[in-house]
Amino acid sequence: MAIKIIDAPIINIDTRSCGTPIPFINEIRNIWSGYRICYYRNVDWVDALPFKLADLDDESKWDEVEKKLFALRDAYVDDAVKSVTKQIAFALKYGYVCNSIHIEPGKDLKTVTKEEIAASAKERFDSVIDIIRNRNSVEDKSMVSAAVASIHVTNACKHIAPKLKMGHESPFEHGVITYILQYVSRSFTHQLVRCRLASYSQASQRYISEDPDNLSFVIPRAIREDPESLKDVSDYLELLSPLIKKLKARGIKNEDIRCVYPNAMPTDIQTTMNFRELKHLIDLRMDSHAQDEIRHVSFDLWTVMCNTMPFIWNTED
């Protein structure tokens, strides 16, 4: 039997998207509310906005609004350059793909310049400003609402980020993320579920029957890149198929057959955790001493969060 090797997980994230550049509207509202309670008792969500909604219909205030938008854009571009530069350095160090929204898919990371990153971030932000500027002529009014919300949340992120970097992380628990990881190993999930402040739903080997003629395995990169080790592991895993067939023929149930499955068996797991716990996971598992699979997934999660919540996830080294 030919062994099917899986070398990259699939990450699906519930971003509850409302537009570019920031989708986590409700989460940021909750985080900002937490900071208002903990640190800024006289500061409300509205005070985090670069402009009031009524200002958009007052032509005399548009110049002031536009000035604030451009200032926020410049800060956004600066943050993107710093963040993506770190992502590229990490990806090159460990041989990962960097899925930043500011990098053209498939582009050689070694050739990406800060100027290209800045241009991408500026273009992305300017597209939002253009929607707001031309809001009266935009047919889909939901795009206008999304654009305004994106600006407001981006500005809120900018306000919150310095406090997070000072260690005030408890309000960060008000925002949550749900993500699904597919084709990860059970070795990986054993590590993931050690982050206890989270909810997990994982594919069950008790109720899901493995097809002995179509087995797949998640093999660590260190083994995949060593032909001799890969052959030895493949030879070992090929013994599993006939064993499963024998046990099934004898009427052994899945819940008992699973005792022979290796940690290399692929699985899917859905996770919901607050942002503070996610930050804890990323900080721990992106470390150079972490196992490669969970470090890779943590890097991808970090990249997604940098894409969607500027300022906040661009932490210091």
CA angle 315, 116, 81 (to 5 degrees): 15
Q: Maximum distance among all alpha carbons in the chain?
A: 83
Sign of CA dihedral 36, 41, 43, 45: positive
C-beta separation of 51 from 152 below 8 A: no
276 as an active site residue: the answer is no
- The runs of H, that is alpha helices, within the chain are 25-38, 59-94, 114-133, 141-165, 186-192, 221-224, 227-237, 240-249, 254-257, 275-285, 292-308
Placement of tokens 């889909």 in the chain: 140
Non-local (6+) Cβ contacts of 305 within 8 A are 177, 278, 282, 312, 313
Angle of helix 25-38 versus helix 141-165 axis, rounded to 10: 40
Non-local (6+) Cβ contacts of 67 within 8 A are none
Tell me which of 124, 186, 285, 295 is the catalytic residue. 285
Q: Is 106 helix (H, G, I), strand (E, B) or coil?
A: coil
Taking alpha carbons only, the member of 140, 135, 180, 164 closest to residue 304 is 180
Cα 261 from chain centre: 30
DSSP string, 128-169: HHHHHHTGGG-S-HHHHHHHHHHHHHHHHHHHHHHHHHTT--
CA distance 130 to 125: 9
Taking alpha carbons only, the member of 280, 243, 239 closest to residue 258 is 243
Active site residue ranges: 285
